[in-house]
Structure 1
């Protein structure tokens, strides 16, 4: 039996704003879109889905740290683009012995770590 991860879902309140953040600012290619969800390709077989939080339980998950870390190339350039796009930085870009990292929030407050290793 084989098990693999299909997607990770982040709940949002506005798909248009989410598309601006994930596609236009982060640069993730769109894999598919419906009225309720957009799936992005973060460079792996697993997709990153952003879905409208329509039920109370899903609404509770909007605006938190997602636990998701995205490995990016040219992290300095990406961080400059995100700043220019009005993205809020929870932790600004810092270097450490293992690499560089920043933590950003999408327009609903969902937080992601960005690393360049």
Structure 2
């Protein structure tokens, strides 16, 4: 019987650029890091950012991940990301469910940001 989810993994090709983006620019809470994977968010479920080392992982790089991250003060956060040169797939806008933006990591993986 499955009782919990360990992690969700997003694959990248440029691990050093990803390291800078997720740790320094997005400032996600790092749990652990090795030479090929970083895990963020303490708790039973983590977000893994891993090197796409297997050919089956390569097509998974550079797409919308379906992952949504909640952000406090999303206006300020998106302003800071913009100043840092982060590419937005969808700019910050007000929607029926709240404020939302979609950002791209250096490999083109997309994450939704919502105000929480």
TM-score calculated relative to the size of structure 1: 0.92
In structure 2, relative to structure 1, the CA distance for the partners of 1:2 and 1:59 (3 Å cut) is: closer
Superposed counterparts of 1:38-117, under 5 Å: 38-41=38-41, 45-117=44-116
CA offsets, 1:27-50, max 9 Å, x none? Answer: 111111111101111x65311110
CA offsets, 1:43-88, max 9 Å, x none? Answer: 6531111000011110110000000011111111110111111111
Instruction: Give distance in 1, aligned partners of 2:21 and 2:109.
Output: 11
In structure 2, the gaps of 5 or more residues are: none
Aligned-pair distance for 1:19?
Answer: 1.5
Aligned-pair distance for 1:5?
Answer: 1.4
In structure 1, the gaps of 5 or more residues are: none
Instruction: Give distance in 2, aligned partners of 1:77 and 1:107.
Output: 21
8 Å Cα contact 2:32-2:39 kept in structure 1: yes
Across the two proteins, how many residue pairs are aligned to each other?
Answer: 116
Partner secondary structure for residue 56 of structure 1: coil
TM-score calculated relative to the size of structure 2: 0.92
Instruction: Give distance in 2, aligned partners of 1:113 and 1:54.
Output: 25
